């Protein structure tokens, strides 16, 4: 007897909650259930709630592919496991934090300790998108074609050559720091960094970008 | 002993995957290895042309998978070598005719009979690419030293890592030393700085490659081809020989030089 997973609709799409157990079996049962209701699911966006299950990037990616085969877009993975949420984030999937708090999130202007931060200890290659409702810390590079979107600040302990949007919760106190700051596109609270590409290419020093008088200012660390 | 199964891919089209697959296969055969290369670009097959075997195709990859023939019937033997075979792609179907599991099952059938199984991947990141990397236990990424090819290579390396088929190794193809000297082309260091994977080899731009493709005689069979020499070196490196990179006599790129001048100074 295959269990049926509970399905809930909400405005972002469909939320499917899966029970704990062997992931391969869960995936099998899930796909079987979807296959019996293909017309309902067709072209829909799906979020999967996995509880405390620890899932690797490869497992999530495989599930995403299998759903895509059925014309279903997996857009989020909700989990109480930090590991699972991190792996989902690095695949560009939304997580609990980014769904639950939307644009008018009550993000405090006062910066206090203990704010949520996502730690990514690897290089983000082209095509990777990471979105997080909090600060994002990357120990690695952000390559051209990769995108980082944070409600708070972004710290890149590596070369920032991709795209970073920080302070997206209308937070003008947010900053962006990088060991080498050579982004394709950088915004804090939607204010863009003026492009001075040639100069930035030649200056290989750690830098900090912050808002001053409604403009973005880049300071080099001395 | 099981074969080494290597998929050659790139992301971007036209950077030299098929040329590399053909030449590395032949170079390994020249070293006495038992090699089969598989063209997985269903619908846009090219490996047969580059190897000069297109007029001997009877069955193809899709025929094997759909069980219209046995795998040995689809394998075309290159007459120049004892143990070099090609399994061509189908020209009349498309990538949906094959699934990743089909590829794994097919390669499983022959892995005991060969030393090397080389899979030529199509361009892109969708089904064709997924089919091609499914059976691989090693991946080679090919890129050209230009910004757009490197961007695509970075993406594909990321996907290879996510699919846990990494780390991939890199071949920089069509490097033109004169253009690098004039500051018109990225140099190898610029490319490696971004892609950050191990370099397997650099193949310089060589006019004889196009000619070779047109007549179906891979450059490694030519005496004085520098690209041929580079592919032979790559084959030897795959076998574990530490062959030094060919000295292409190009100076450090201009961007590199300038950046060193400015980086060490003050504001």
Q: What's the CA gap between B59 and B69, in Å, rounded?
A: 7
- How confident is the model over A116-175, as pLDDT tens digits? 888 899 999 999 999 988 899 999 999 999 999 999 999 999 999 999 999 998 888 999
Distance of CA A133 to the CA centre of its chain: 8
Return the residue matching tokens 């120990």: A139
- How confident is the model over A163-208, as pLDDT tens digits? 999 999 888 899 999 999 999 999 999 999 987 666 666 677 899 9
Task: Give the pLDDT of residue A52.
Answer: 85
Sort out which chain B residues have CB atoms less than 8 A from A128's CB and list them.
158
Residue B219's SS3 state is helix
Closest CB from B158, B164, B263 relative to A125: B158
Residues B205/B180, Cβ–Cβ less than 8 Å: no
Tell if the CB–CB gap between B155 and A201 is shorter than 8 Å.
no
Q: Is pLDDT of A110 > 50?
A: no
The H or E element that residue B24 is part of is helix B17-30
Residues B199/B188, Cβ–Cβ less than 8 Å: yes
Residue, of A11 and A42, whose pLDDT is higher: A42
B96 contact partners, CB below 8 Å, separation of at least 6: B127
Residue numbers of the domain that contains B56:
4-264
User: B194 touching A, CB under 8 A?
Assistant: yes
Q: What does the mean pLDDT of chain A come to?
A: 84
Whether the ω angle into residue B167 lies within 30 degrees of 0, i.e. cis, is yes
Q: What's the CA gap between B188 and B76, in Å, rounded?
A: 36
Task: Give the pLDDT of residue B256.
Answer: 55
The count of structural domains within chain B is 1
Determine the angle formed by the axes of helices B226-238 and B17-30, rounding to 10 degrees: 70
Q: Is pLDDT of B193 > 50?
A: yes
- The CATH number linked to B199 is 3.40.50.300
Ordered strands of the A207-212 beta sheet: A117-120, A135-138, A154-160, A176-181, A207-212, A215-220
User: A57 touching B, CB under 8 A?
Assistant: yes
Q: What's the CA gap between B54 and B58, in Å, rounded?
A: 9
Q: Pick the residue of A123, A126, A222 with the most B CBs within 10 A to test the interface with B by mutation.
A: A126
Determine the angle formed by the axes of helices A82-90 and A57-69, rounding to 10 degrees: 60
Q: Is the dihedral of CA B208, B214, B215, B218 positive or negative?
A: positive
- Return the percentage of chain B with pLDDT > 90, whole number: 81
Question: Chain A closest CA to B221's CA: distance in Å?
Answer: 37
User: A202 touching B, CB under 8 A?
Assistant: yes
- Which 3-state string (H, E, C) describes chain A? CCCCCCEEEECCEEEEECCCCCHHHHHHHHHHHHHHCHHHHCCCEEEEECCCCCCCHHHHHHHHHHHHHCCCEEEEEECCCHHHHHHHHHCCCECHHHHHCCCCCCCCCCCCCCCCEEEECCCECCCCEEEECCEEEECCCECCCCEEEECCCEEEEEEECCEEEECCCCCCCCCEEEEEECCCEEEECCEECCCCHHHHHHCCCCEEEEEECCEEEEEECC
Task: Give the pLDDT of residue A106.
Answer: 31
Q: What's the CA gap between A35 and A147, in Å, rounded?
A: 34
Other CB atoms within a 10 A radius of the CB of residue B237 amount to 16
Task: Give the pLDDT of residue A111.
Answer: 38
Question: Chain B closest CA to A59's CA: distance in Å?
Answer: 9
Task: Give the pLDDT of residue A20.
Answer: 79
What structural domains and CATH numbers belong to chain A? 7-100 (3.30.70.260), 117-220 (2.160.20.70)
Q: What's the CA gap between A94 and A112, in Å, rounded?
A: 25
- How confident is the model over B128-164, as pLDDT tens digits? 999 999 999 999 999 999 999 999 999 999 999 888 8
Can you read off the two tokens belonging to residue A28?
């099998």
User: Which phi and psi angles does B115 have, rounded to 5°?
Assistant: -90, -30
Instruction: Quickly state the pLDDT bin for A53 (edges 50, 70, 90).
Output: confident
Sort out which chain A residues have CB atoms less than 8 A from B255's CB and list them.
201
């Amino acid at each position: 007897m295959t269990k049926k997973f509970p399905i809930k609709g909400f405005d972002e799409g469909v939320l499917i909650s899966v029970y704990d157990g062997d992931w391969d079996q869960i995936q099998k049962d899930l796909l079987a259930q979807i296959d019996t209701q293909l017309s309902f699911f067709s072209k829909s966006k799906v979020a999967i709630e996995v509880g405390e299950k620890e899932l690797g990037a490869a497992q999530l990616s495989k599930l995403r592919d299998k759903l895509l085969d059925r014309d279903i877009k997996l857009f989020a993975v909700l989990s109480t496991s930090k590991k699972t949420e991190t792996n989902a984030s690095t695949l560009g999937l939304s997580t609990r934090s980014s769904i639950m708090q939307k644009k008018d999130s009550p993000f405090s202007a006062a910066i206090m300790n203990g704010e949520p931060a996502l730690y990514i200890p690897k290089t983000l290659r082209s095509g990777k998108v990471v979105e997080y409702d909090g600060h994002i810390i990357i120990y690695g590079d952000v390559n051209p074609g990769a995108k980082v979107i944070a409600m708070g600040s972004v710290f890149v302990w590596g070369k920032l050559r991709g795209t970073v949007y920080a302070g997206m919760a209308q937070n003008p106190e947010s900053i962006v720091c990088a060991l080498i700051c050579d982004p394709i596109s950088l915004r804090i609270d939607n204010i863009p960094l003026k492009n001075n590409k040639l100069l930035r290419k030649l200056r290989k020093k750690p830098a900090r970008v912050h808002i001053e008088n409604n403009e973005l200012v880049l300071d080099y660390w001395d | 002993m099981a074969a080494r199964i290597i998929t050659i891919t790139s992301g971007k089209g036209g950077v030299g995957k098929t040329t590399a697959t053909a030449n590395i296969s032949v170079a390994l055969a020249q070293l006495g290895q038992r090699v089969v290369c598989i063209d997985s670009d269903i619908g846009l097959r090219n490996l047969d042309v580059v190897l000069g075997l297109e007029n001997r195709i009877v069955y193809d990859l899709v025929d094997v998978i759909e069980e219209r023939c046995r795998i040995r019937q689809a394998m075309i033997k290159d007459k120049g070598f004892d143990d070099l075979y090609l399994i061509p792609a189908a020209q009349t179907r498309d990538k949906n005719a094959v699934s990743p599991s089909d590829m794994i099952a097919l390669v499983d059938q022959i892995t005991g009979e060969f030393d090397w199984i080389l899979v030529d991947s199509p361009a892109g990141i969708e089904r064709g690419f997924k089919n091609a990397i499914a059976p691989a236990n090693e991946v080679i990424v090919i890129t050209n030293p230009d910004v757009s090819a490197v961007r695509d290579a970075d993406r594909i390396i990321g996907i290879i890592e996510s699919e846990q088929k990494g780390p991939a190794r890199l071949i920089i193809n069509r490097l033109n030393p004169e253009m690098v000297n004039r500051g018109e082309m990225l140099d190898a260091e610029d490319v490696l700085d971004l892609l950050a994977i191990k370099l397997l080899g650099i193949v310089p731009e060589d006019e004889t490659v196009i000619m070779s493709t047109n007549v179906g005689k891979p450059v490694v069979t030519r005496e004085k081809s520098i690209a041929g020499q580079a592919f032979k070196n790559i084959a030897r490196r795959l076998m574990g020989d530490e062959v030094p990179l060919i000295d292409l006599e190009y100076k450090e790129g201009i961007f590199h030089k300038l950046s060193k001048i400015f980086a060490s100074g003050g504001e």
